[in-house]
Chains A and B, each alone.
Chain A
Amino acid sequence: MRLRIYRFDPDVDERPRMQDYDVALRHTDRMLLDVLVRLKEIDDSLSFRRSCREGVCGSDAMNINGRNGLACIQPVSELKEPVTLRPLPGFPVVRDLIVDMTQFFAHYHSIRPYVIDDRPMPERERLQSPEERERLNGLYECILCACCSAFCPSYWWNPDKFIGPAGLLQAWRFITDSRDTARAERLAYLDDVYRLYRCRTIMNCTEVCPKGLSPSHAIEQIRTALVKESS
């Protein structure tokens, strides 16, 4: 299989470059991550993050033939050669396919990703009906891989001020959680020309989410909630 991979070593390179590889695959190499691991036999300097190898940790998010995805669940059979791999767009490159996720996580923290209830602790659990729990489906499954935010043009142009699809989806996850009591504050925090309203409903996020989630739909629900809140 032929690949073209983005290479950048900050200790050696002045600027990034593309490197060509040609690797013989075994029949057991089913996913792109398998290919990358096999490439390490040829070129051990190639660097990328990976962990669970089953699409739940989000470590190996990268730009694959022009679209963001997870290398570990990207079947090799679906890829056109030469397979072009680049780091997530718009994120500072640490080395090769490894990007700096600091800003991304900062946005996640800024939306307070935890249930807020400062009342005295209840005697028993905070109960949720099946319908209330149902509202978290399509939101809690986010693995924070950043495929969405790194494919969002609005996030590219203002990565420091726009929260981005991942952060906004998580914001909605807590706004819509029946156990949370800080709904009004959460919505007020988002009501800002940058934080939420850089979103133009381009929907690139939903197109590339490897978990099949829809950040654009979550954002639509935040906007509706804001309108309802103010009327």
Chain B
Amino acid sequence: MARHSTGDAARAAPKFLNLAAIRFPVGAIASILHRISGIVLVLALPLLASALGESLSGPEGFRAVLEGATRSWYAPLLLVGVWALVHHIFAGVRHLLMDVGIGSRLAPARASAFVSIAAGVVAAVVWLALWAVR
């Protein structure tokens, strides 16, 4: 199918959208992570509701929730949730401040993006470290 009529050309027009070949600024990284962390948190919301119920069912239920979060097999996996929460809050506060003009110029915006990314990573590492020395 080497020859196209002019009518076909518009339909067949390719686009360059190879994300791996695009060099994203730090703000774009912070932004996509903000979106991913948001989705993680939405998925965690029903789990949070379950934990609420369990924690209020009595002292045993309360202890079970805490034990689950700190000593169970899935406790280290919660680092994803911890990362998501911390990153989303830091990146979210960054957006709230930029909306009212604080730090919305390029230089401070890049710095706050870096801080947001770092905060999430640090939180996840701390969580993992606390679990390791439990």
| Interface residues of A, Cβ cutoff 8 Å to B | 6, 8, 10-16, 63, 65-67, 84, 86-94, 100, 153, 156, 200-204, 206-207, 214, 216-217, 220, 223-224
Most chain B CB within 10 A, of A10, A15, A16, A214, is at A10
- Which residues does chain A contribute within 8 Å of B106, judged by CB atoms? 203, 206-207, 214
Selecting from B1-9, B46-54, B121-129, the interface stretch reads B1-9
Known: A11-B3, A90-B15. Contact between A200 and B31, CB under 8 A? yes
Given the complex of chains A and B, what is the CA–CA distance between A156 and B28 in angstroms? 14
Q: Which of B12, B15, B21, B99 has the most CB of A within 10 A?
A: B15
Residues of B within 8 A of A14 (CB): 1-2
B16 A15 Cβ-Cβ under 8 A? no
CA distance A65 to B21 in the complex (A): 8
Contacts of A223 in B (CB 8 A): 99
Known: A11-B3, A11-B4, A217-B104. A201 touches B17 (CB 8 A): no
Please report the C-alpha to C-alpha distance between residue A84 and residue B21 in the assembled complex, in whole angstroms: 9
Q: How far is the CA of A216 from the CA of B105 in the complex (A)?
A: 9
Find out whether the CB atom of B17 lies under 8 angstroms from the CB atom of A203.
Answer: no
Contact sample, A vs B, 29 pairs, CB 8 Å cutoff: A6-B16, A10-B4, A10-B9, A10-B12, A14-B2, A16-B14, A63-B22, A65-B23, A66-B21, A86-B16, A87-B16, A88-B16, A90-B17, A91-B15, A92-B14, A92-B15, A93-B16, A94-B13, A153-B31, A156-B17, A201-B31, A201-B99, A202-B28, A202-B31, A203-B109, A204-B28, A207-B25, A207-B106, A217-B105
| Contacting residue for A204 out of B14, B17, B25, B35, CB 8 A | B25
Q: CA–CA, A214 to B104, complex, Å?
A: 10
**A63–B16 Cα gap in the complex (Å)?**
9
Interface size class of B (residues with CB under 8 A): 20 to 34
The CA-CA distance from A10 to B6 in the complex, in Å, is 10
| B24-41 interface with A by 8 A CB criterion | 24-25, 27-28, 31-32, 35
- Minimum Cβ distance to chain A for residue B114 (Å): 13
Residues of B within 8 A of A84 (CB): 21
Closest A residue to B31 by beta carbon equals A202
Tell me how far the C-beta of A104 lies from the nearest C-beta in chain B, rounded to whole angstroms: 13
Is B101 an interface residue when CB atoms closer than 8 A count as contact?
yes
B104 touches A66 (CB 8 A): no
Shortest beta-carbon distance from A200 to chain B in Å: 6
CB contacts (< 8 Å) of B25 on chain A: these are: 203-204, 207
Binary A-proximity of B77-92 (CB < 8 A = 1, otherwise 0): 0000000000000000
What is the minimal beta-carbon distance from A173 to any residue of chain B, in angstroms? 18
Q: CB within 8 A of B104: which of A153, A200, A216? A: A216
